[in-house]
Amino acid sequence: MQSVSSYVLSATGIDKIFPGARALNGVDFSLARGEVHALLGENGAGKSTLIKCLTGAYRRDGGRILLDGVDVDPHNTLEAQKLGIGTVYQEVNLLANLTVAENLFLGRQPRRFGLVDARAMNKQARALLSEYDLDIDVTAELSAFSVAVQQVIAIARAVDLSGKVLILDEPTASLDTHEVAMLFRIVRRLKERGLGIIFITHFLEQVYEISDRITVLRNGQLVGTRETAALPRRELIAMMLGRELVQEVGEAKHSETKAPGEARFRFRSFGRKGHIQPFDLDVASGEVVGIAGLLGSGRTETAEILFGAERADSGTAQADGRTLDLSSPRAAIREKFGFCPEDRKVDGIVGDLSVRENIVLALQARRGWARPISRSEQDRLADHYIKALDIRTSDREKPIRLLSGGNQQKAILARWLATNPEFLILDEPTRGIDVGAHAEIIRLIETLCENGMSLIVISSELEELVAYSSRVLVLRDRAHVAELTGEEVTTNAIIEAIASAHEGRPA
Amino acid sequence: MTGTLKAYAVRLFPQVAALAIILFMVSLAFPGFFKLSFQNDRLYGSLIDILNRGAPVALLAIGMTVVIATKGIDLSVGAVMAICGAVAAASITAGHSLAFTLAVTISTGILCGLWNGVLVAVLDIQPIIATLVLMVAGRGIAQLITEGAILTFNHPGLIFIGSGSLFGLPMPVIIWLGFGLIVALLVRRTALGMLIEAVGVNRRASRLSGVSTGVLLIAAYMLSGLCAALAGIIAAADIRGADANNAGLWLELDAILAVVVGGTSLLGGRFSIAASLLGAMIIQSINTGILLSGFPPEFNLIIKAAIIVLILVIQSPRAQSAFIWLSRARATEPTKGQEAK
Ligand SMILES: Nc1ncnc2c1ncn2[C@@H]1O[C@H](COP(=O)(O)OP(=O)(O)OP(=O)(O)O)[C@@H](O)[C@H]1O
Ligand SMILES: [Mg+2]
């Protein structure tokens, strides 16, 4: 047992009660100096709630928090920052209409003669981001950048702010391998400087790569804290789920390629200027096509024009020889398309509406306002998907914004499954979803495909892509540059395709 | 069914309670307040007076609620009332039939709403700015129609709308009650209500889910224009003339206030037409109450403001969470032991 003073942060008996849900029940948590401490658990286990209690973003209902052996009680994130606790919350909470530099230095802008010294601020901002290999216009509005870039900016800000403790709540969810490596380099450096780092993630490889100790929560209760090195993966999963998991997704081998049937959906020189270069794409009924590429390579852009969120300005789209109208999401949905977007907070959830309403929204929109889905049918649909996808919520009438991140993600997926799509596009579908649910969702998707649904999956998780795609498209610089089929679909091949595509680019 | 009924009761409780308290206080200052009498086939009394006087704001509040639910706001309704009053007066004095006059007036209101809706939904102009255009220009347009004078008329049919009665109630009351009921049924019996709320909470996500956000937005402003037209007709019929300068003056603010007092957030989303109508009646009760209790008129606005601030404070999220916190602290204190480790 270490003496109390060797802990930079130690919390005992933390309680948090929400109306209708007890999110934390007497949780103990301690963080040593110079350690990376992984905080794990299923979706809705209470991880985000615990760190919000630590930073004062939520008022805790009980328990003590000691920082360097002294009782502290931050009332909000700002106070926590002053105490030396920097945090990146699960949902990026920067200000979309301020510039990148302003976001980085909000509340602590360099001043000159009492005025904000914009030049100095922008210079410092560029220097700060260069550590992350991020060379962007720091005077542009934050909203101009992708979630991933925003995530890196949020991390850079938090790292810069944290004197003693750095908290990262699923920071890597939208990052690709390259950026994760970069983040870990920075984390290791901070660790050497003696910071305590709390790291929440659902990627177990990352846990084993970087963490020293692991704390597992389940249903708001502490399951245990263990040394990472002494905790085998299977046992860890059992601690998280409270049961053994038959097979993890990453373990699955590339599914034996079903001979892809006749192409059902045909896209020819489909593209949009300044968005994605024209590409050809054939998808058979029941086929899963993966899309890989680095951030900004045009993955999301591809999804957006396939779904009509951005209108294609060249090319044709056909299904069974019939020309499709993909001029707007509404039109695409009428063609039985579905699109589960990457940024769930901005493009996905309708926060104040209930879980039920969020699940039936797309189906209702397709039927039109004059043909309401009866309340009993809505209840049935919602209950069905809450059960099928294991959405953890106290009841179906809870506003969706009160659900944990992973459970929101599941509800958005349910919204699309409820429309019975024939062509479904999933942009980072399993982002933030725990190992148990992950396996369930993949299985569900596989069943749907067996029943004839065509699927496009965009993912930074290459193992996942390999596990279920029969083909993988590789994108670079907003163009489709390679296509891997059958035996070629392996993690290494994808990485190579991305990399070799990159060699061609002037440095 | 009882579940939804209970939900309604919970939702409307603050407004009903506020209204009851205000009416009670007025009745203390003015004893004959609750007295109703029946003469010439029509009910009379202060309560009826409140229902009647509150008609324009109640009508405006119906449309305003839906617009605010989409995360918008309609500042032009007062001016649209003036335009529509002018159109009605001009048409009836030009010798057109009542049916034609009503049709033209209502179409004018809807057209004004269409203009606002297009600015907001198609050109993506912020609602407060988009509707400000018509708010400023509207009175000018009304003056053009009335040619600068107060255009009076004495067409009995049109006057009946302002001061006639039906089923023992003044016509304006019948109109706002009936119209409120129609709109409330329309949005809640169809999926419109949910779709409007979805657009108000997250327009992007709604569009990506296939909701026709543009059409809904435009329809919301058109409804607001329609409501303003009805309110404008009533206001003009009441004074038997169209006053381009004063008809509906500042009523957009009362309508917004009615919606807010009704508990619909200016940030869009969840809305209740019934609650906004109660809000309109709360505002009218304050107006009438102050008048009846004989306060010197210079106090009127101050007292009104104070009461409204009080209602808003009680409704504010901070106060609500304080209530929850207090009640929970009381509930959990005895049971919670020290969970020593
Ligand atoms: N503000 C809130 N009001 C009511 N319930 C809440 C609130 N915030 C969280 N909860 C509930 O508390 C539980 C724990 O949520 P939390 O966000 O901490 O989960 P998590 O472990 O971070 O999950 P995930 O991996 O999905 O992010 C969930 O069941 C959630 O619905
Ligand atoms: Mg979380």
Alpha-carbon span A125 to A138, nearest angstrom: 7
Q: How many helices (H) and strands (E) does chain B have?
A: 15, 6
Which of A163-167, A351-355, B148-152, B298-302 has the least mean pLDDT?
B298-302
Contact B134, B232 (CB under 8 A): no
Tens-place pLDDT, residues A173-193: 777 777 788 888 888 988 898
Q: Is the pLDDT of residue A504 over 80?
A: no
Q: Which residues line ligand 1 (CB under 6 A)?
A: A 18, 21, 23, 41, 43-49, 90, 392-393, 402-407, 432
Q: Which ligand is nearest to the CA of A407?
A: 1
Q: Is the pLDDT of residue A77 over 90?
A: no
Pairing status of strand B36-39 against strand B42-45: antiparallel
State the burial class of residue A184 (Cβ atoms within 10 Å of its Cβ: 0-12, 13-18, 19+).
middle
Ligand 1, atom 2, residue with closest C-alpha: A402
Q: Report the atom number in ligand 1 closest to the C-alpha of A18.
A: 4
Gap from CA of A155 to ligand 1 centroid (Å): 22
What percent of chain B stands above pLDDT 70?
93
- Predicted local distance difference test score (pLDDT) of residue A247: 62
State the burial class of residue A420 (Cβ atoms within 10 Å of its Cβ: 0-12, 13-18, 19+).
middle
Q: What domains does chain B contain, in order, with CATH numbers?
A: 15-297 (1.10.3470)
Tens-place pLDDT, residues A44-60: 899 999 999 999 999 99
Q: What is B280-324 written as a DSSP string?
A: HHHHHHHHHHHHHTT--HHHHHHHHHHHHHHHHHHHSHHHHHHHH
Flag whether residue B318 sits within 8 Å of chain A, measured between CB atoms.
no
Alpha-carbon span B211 to A334, nearest angstrom: 11
- Predicted local distance difference test score (pLDDT) of residue A493: 83
Question: CA neighbours within 13 Å on the CB side: how many for B209?
Answer: 37
Residue A6 confidence class, pLDDT cut points 50, 70, 90: confident
Q: Report the atom number in ligand 1 closest to the C-alpha of A202.
A: 25
Contact A215, A409 (CB under 8 A): no
pLDDT mean across residues, chain B: 87
Average pLDDT over residues A7-15: 92
B209–A13 C-beta distance less than 8 A: no
Pairing status of strand A62-67 against strand A70-71: antiparallel
- Predicted local distance difference test score (pLDDT) of residue B322: 72
Which chain A residues are Cβ-neighbours of B270 within 8 angstroms?
352
Gap from CA of A3 to ligand 1 centroid (Å): 32
Alpha-carbon span B270 to B12, nearest angstrom: 13
What is the sign, positive or negative, of the torsion defined by CA atoms of B298, B302, B305, B311?
Answer: negative
Question: How big, in percent rounded to 5, are the helix, strand and coil portions of chain A?
Answer: 40, 25, 35
Q: At what angle do helices B46-53 and B273-292 cross, to 10 degrees?
A: 120
CB count, 10 Å around CB of B332?
13
Q: Report the atom number in ligand 1 closest to the C-alpha of A217.
A: 21
Query: Which residues of chain A have a Cβ shorter than 8 Å from any chain B Cβ?
Result: 12-13, 17, 19, 26, 28, 61-62, 307, 309, 329-330, 332-334, 339, 341, 346-353, 357, 361-362, 364-373, 415
- Predicted local distance difference test score (pLDDT) of residue A105: 87
Ligand 1, atom 12, residue with closest C-alpha: A23
- Predicted local distance difference test score (pLDDT) of residue A2: 46
- Predicted local distance difference test score (pLDDT) of residue A329: 94
CB count, 10 Å around CB of A323?
9
State the burial class of residue A192 (Cβ atoms within 10 Å of its Cβ: 0-12, 13-18, 19+).
exposed
Structure tokens at B275: 């609650």
Beta bridge partners of A458: A291, A427
Average pLDDT over residues A1-24: 81
Q: Is the pLDDT of residue A244 over 90?
A: no
Average pLDDT over residues A287-301: 85
Which residue on chain B is closest to A335 by alpha carbon?
B210
H-assigned helices in B70-212: 77-93, 98-117, 127-146, 156-163, 171-189, 192-201, 203-208
B336–A361 C-beta distance less than 8 A: no
B191–A309 C-beta distance less than 8 A: no
Distance from A257 to chain B by nearest Cα, in Å?
32
What percent of chain B stands above pLDDT 90?
55
pTM of the model: 0.87
Please give the ipTM for the structure prediction: 0.86
Largest CA distance in chain B: 89
Structure tokens at A461: 């998780």
A347–B270 C-beta distance less than 8 A: no
Tens-place pLDDT, residues B11-35: 888 889 889 988 888 888 888 778 7
Q: Is the pLDDT of residue B338 over 70?
A: no
Which chain B residues are Cβ-neighbours of A361 within 8 angstroms?
194, 198, 206, 209, 211
- Predicted local distance difference test score (pLDDT) of residue B309: 83
Structure tokens at A56: 């004062």
Alpha-carbon span A307 to A313, nearest angstrom: 13
Q: Which residues make up the CATH 3.40.50.300 domain(s) of chain A?
A: 4-97+141-231, 245-336+421-507
Residue to mutate, A16, A18, A61, A201, ligand 1, most ligand atoms under 8 Å from C-beta: A18
Q: Measured at the alpha carbon of residue B213, what is the angle toward residues B212 and B219, in degrees to the nearest 5?
A: 95
Q: Which ligand is nearest to the CA of A399?
A: 1
Alpha-carbon span A416 to A414, nearest angstrom: 5
Q: At what angle do helices A118-130 and A147-161 cross, to 10 degrees?
A: 100
Tens-place pLDDT, residues A97-149: 888 888 888 877 777 777 778 888 888 889 888 887 778 888 888 888 877 78
Contacts of the segment B138-142: beta carbons below 8 A, 24+ positions apart? B138/B76, B138/B78, B138/B79, B138/B80, B138/B82, B138/B83, B138/B112, B139/B79, B139/B82, B139/B244, B139/B245, B141/B79, B141/B83, B141/B86, B142/B79, B142/B82, B142/B83, B142/B85, B142/B86, B142/B242, B142/B244, B142/B247
Alpha-carbon span A10 to A67, nearest angstrom: 7
Please determine, looking at this structure, whether the domain spanning A245-336+421-507 carries the CATH number 3.40.50.300: yes
Question: How big, in percent rounded to 5, are the helix, strand and coil portions of chain B?
Answer: 75, 5, 20
Gap from CA of A181 to ligand 2 centroid (Å): 22
Rg (CA), chain B: 22
Structure tokens at B165: 């009665």
Q: Measured at the alpha carbon of residue A13, what is the angle toward residues A8 and A14, in degrees to the nearest 5?
A: 80
B201–A352 C-beta distance less than 8 A: yes
Pairing status of strand A471-476 against strand A288-293: parallel
Distance from B121 to chain A by nearest Cα, in Å?
15
Q: What is A202-236 written as a DSSP string?
A: S-HHHHHHH-SEEEEEETTEEEEEEEGGG--HHHH
Which chain A residues are Cβ-neighbours of B324 within 8 angstroms?
19
Tens-place pLDDT, residues B105-144: 999 999 999 999 999 999 999 999 999 999 999 999 999 9
- From B219, B234, B248, select the one nearest B52 (Cα to Cα): B234
**Residue A284 phi, psi dihedral angles, 5° rounding:** -85, 165
Average pLDDT over residues A246-264: 59
What percent of chain A stands above pLDDT 90?
37
- For residues A249 and A198, which has the higher predicted lDDT (pLDDT)? A198
Q: What is A278-332 written as a DSSP string?
A: EEEEEEETT-EEEEEE-TTSSHHHHHHHHHTSS---EEEEEETTEEP--SSHHHH
Tens-place pLDDT, residues B73-82: 999 999 999 9
Mutation site for A-interface testing, chosen from B202, B208, B266, B333 by largest number of A Cβ within 10 Å: B208
Mutation site for B-interface testing, chosen from A27, A222, A352 by largest number of B Cβ within 10 Å: A352
Which chain B residues are Cβ-neighbours of A329 within 8 angstroms?
207-210
Please determine, looking at this structure, whether the domain spanning A4-97+141-231 carries the CATH number 3.40.50.300: yes
pLDDT mean across residues, chain A: 86
How far is C-alpha A378 from the geometric centre of its chain's CA atoms?
A: 28
A3's CB contacts (< 8 A; 6+ apart) are none
B339–A13 C-beta distance less than 8 A: yes
Residue A159 confidence class, pLDDT cut points 50, 70, 90: confident
Residue A259 confidence class, pLDDT cut points 50, 70, 90: low
Q: Is the pLDDT of residue B204 over 80?
A: yes
Flag whether residue B201 sits within 8 Å of chain A, measured between CB atoms.
yes
Nearest to B204 among A347, A357, A372 (CB): A347
Flag whether residue B300 sits within 8 Å of chain A, measured between CB atoms.
no
A277's CB contacts (< 8 A; 6+ apart) are A271, A298, A478, A479, A480
* Cβ pairs bridging A and B (under 8 Å): 90
Structure tokens at B283: 């505002």
**Residue A214 phi, psi dihedral angles, 5° rounding:** -130, 135
- From A238, A246, A249, select the one nearest A40 (Cα to Cα): A238
What is the sign, positive or negative, of the torsion defined by CA atoms of A208, A213, A219, A223?
Answer: positive
Nearest to A365 among B189, B210, B336 (CB): B210
Structure tokens at A402: 């009160």
CB count, 10 Å around CB of B94?
10
Residue A207 confidence class, pLDDT cut points 50, 70, 90: very high
CB count, 10 Å around CB of B308?
18
Residue to mutate, A201, A391, A402, A435, ligand 1, most ligand atoms under 8 Å from C-beta: A402
Q: Is the pLDDT of residue B3 over 70?
A: no
